[in-house]
Amino acid sequence: MAPTAEETLSTNAAFSNLPDGEWTPETVLSTLPPHSRPQPNTSPLPFMHLLSRLKTTPREGWRRFNIHHGESIADHMYRMSIITLLCPPSLAAKLDLNRCTRMALVHDMAEALVGDITPVDGVSKSEKSRREAGTMDYLCFSLLGGVAGGKEQGELISSLWQEYEDSVTPESHFVHDVDKMELLLQMVEYERSHEPVGKLDLGEFTRVATKIVMPEVQQWAREVLEERRVYWEGVGKVPKGLLSMGESHDGAEHKEDGVSEERRKQQDQYYGSVNGNGTSGRLNGAGATGIDGKRLA
């Protein structure tokens, strides 16, 4: 039987609001039924079992819109990994795509215990990073440390996760962009499949399109936003958020009608701000491009 909405919410609701520094992997593990608490040994099974939480824990952002049986964290990572395989040749020649695919498969692994912390949850980025780093140490070294070959595989998984977090390499830049692209796809799919037609407006999520930095992924984002524009035009309504890459329905640059200033600030703090020239302030490394195709410093 699938877990109830209340059960799958427990990771976020019970622990997101703990004071900074008090959350540990053990605080979550202590709440699990005894048979679900992994006991590190020489078998990889405890690690494998814990990963099941990625299959049953929903992505939290949608649940504010009463989408309670939507995608799981594992659903999100799986489609991301497939999207990396579709990297356009012009970009693929510059990347280690095998590493990108692996990175996509592990980048949210810590959410098995941390939960899916969103921009509106009130957890600082530094605290979110601390929780996730502690969880990855537990997963990669405590659970896999005694497994044959586990030390090497744990180090690989940990290094892929850390590379994504540091966001310095071209591969990590691409996977960050794919993360946002997958969200945009899911946003449009939820809007178009909702009944009654035209009642579900997820426009606040369109802002993530302005955080995409690689031109090839920007093009994908333009196409999915165009799909969204056509859908809303067909139902005779003007939705919230961006209707095309970089402009709203009235042509104002980065104007997101109906999206509160507070929500925009929360997303900027989470994903990085959008500068005056339209580029995202998220990336730490050099050589990436912004939404207007200019090089980031």
The rounded Cα 4 to chain-centroid distance in angstroms is: 22
Q: What is the 3-state secondary structure (H, E, C) of 128-195?
A: HHHHHHHHHHHHHHHHCCCCCCHHHHHHHHHHHHHHHHHCCCHHHHHHHHHHHHHHHHHHHHHHHHCC
Q: Are 117 and 123 in contact (CB under 8 A)?
A: yes
Mean pLDDT of 23-27: 93
User: What pLDDT score was predicted for residue 15?
Assistant: 55
204 and 288 together in one domain:
yes
Q: How far is CA 66 from CA 60, 63, 77, 106, 201, in A?
A: 10, 5, 22, 27, 12
Task: Please check whether residues 48 and 139 belong to one and the same domain.
Answer: yes
If pLDDT is split at 50, 70 and 90, which confidence band does 254 have? very low
Contacts of 101 (CB under 8 A, 6+ apart): 81, 84, 85
Q: Which domain holds residue 151?
A: 35-166
- Average pLDDT (235-245) is 92
* pLDDT 10s digits, 123-132: 888 999 999 9
The more confident residue out of 273 and 106 is: 106
Same domain, yes or no, for 146 and 211? no
Q: Which of 131, 166, 201 represents a domain boundary (last residue)?
A: 166
Q: What is the CATH number of the domain that holds 51?
A: 1.10.3210.10
One domain, residues 122 and 220: no
pLDDT tens sequence across 30-70: 999 999 999 999 999 999 999 999 999 999 999 999 998 89
Residue 16: pLDDT band with limits 50, 70, 90:
low
Q: Which two tokens stand for residue 15?
A: 């622990």
Domain presence at residue 150: yes
| Residue 75 CA: distances (Å) to CA of 53, 182, 255 | 12, 10, 31
pLDDT digit string (tens) for 199-215? 999 999 999 999 999 99
CA 261 to chain centre: 22
- Examine the domain organization and report whether 133 and 148 are in the same domain: yes
pLDDT digits (tens, 9 = 90+) for 130-184: 999 999 999 999 999 999 999 999 999 999 999 999 999 999 999 999 999 999 9
Q: What is the pLDDT of residue 120?
A: 84
Q: Which residue has the higher pLDDT, 37 or 275?
A: 37
- 189 and 291, same structural domain? yes
Q: Crossing angle of helices 73-85/97-106, nearest 10°?
A: 170
Q: What is the pLDDT of residue 250?
A: 41
Give me the residue label for tokens 């690689």. 214
pTM over 0.75: yes
pLDDT at 155: 99
Residue 244 backbone dihedrals phi, psi, to 5 degrees: -155, 170
Domain final residue, candidates 145, 166, 187: 166
